[in-house]
Structure 1
């Protein structure tokens, strides 16, 4: 029970990698605040977790807006207590007819939306969570980057790659900035993970990725969650500023 009575917040919590992280934290004793834009799915998920005996609190949130993040953070603090674990998991990777748009095709509004959700939300949530962590002289922050932030990946667009690369820079900067307060900041760089998001992509694309992945398969959300739980735990208390690929050997850097 590595997280007994600790409070964690997970963004993008209602499905895929996010829900695997939530369930891993709950299984080891944490109380978890759930943030997701999908109000219906998030509320239903929270109800199922409570019915199973877990202590959770869900707030439907547009993480691209600071005021909405502030409202969600305050509500979770009131319900569960201040968080000492923050998992900035939320992310979007828009496709048009199953493919990523080239730069000359991309609407500026799509660029702005991806930056707001994938990057700005990480600043917003970290800005809100760190005052308590600094005061308590402890904390764990895990940012969800991607192998696409470390190497060229032709199945995502420039906005996704740019935001995921930016998260690596933020992780390293915050690791140094927050280190004197015993707050660790690390990032995960998943590869191709079998989540509902893949249903929007033609099967031949996923097959092509598998063929150039050392382990010759897609990853699972639970495998990403396992790495996240390590970073969140005291086992990683002397690990900070690191980026861990969870990609089965795809796009090795």
Structure 2
């Protein structure tokens, strides 16, 4: 299947290109904040009718969310995906326009930002992580769609009818569109699962449970897709040629998700 005729640049402002990837980040934060505000307004969803902070305060948090994602994502990419390159050229660490972000680091930066923000507001820290879990899948889906538009992070060769020939592939063979797999699993499907949990089974009344569901769902989805997604060229496969860095970094997230879910389920559900 040929690659769709979509340029990585959405539009230009004079000589400056505005890329779909940057717009995906901004749209993810904006839409996530809007959805988060709706959740915060529905006090009955939360334990003791007490959301982690006031609905209108989410716009103050959005600024810190962007910083947490960028700083955390960049630090993790430097440390885990290309450390020798950045040790040799330390100024390139700040060249964000050249790309290089790691989801797991961005998530940790976002978690730290929301916990510090919630602590300053006197809210429940676990509920703040639940809020992130409920809205974070929106940004994940948009980010993976942007990866597809950039023709990056594609999968292994395949003879399946939906294999895509990416313009950046030097071999020019059909490959798994692993970015779309991740957008569907880590984004859309996980959003629907968490939506069911928050609005039908009332998971937000058990602080930490929604975050645990996210951790389990994301980790399992990422680990599964990594079996058909090519690893970063500078790292390759690990431990005998079958494990990837993405899978390694997803294992702690899986364990943390299981621990959070079990902790939340053992406590009496708030009414």
Query: What TM-score does the superposition give when structure 1 sets the normalisation length?
Result: 0.34
Larger Rg: 2
Query: What TM-score does the superposition give when structure 2 sets the normalisation length?
Result: 0.33
Higher strand share: 1
Higher helix share: 2
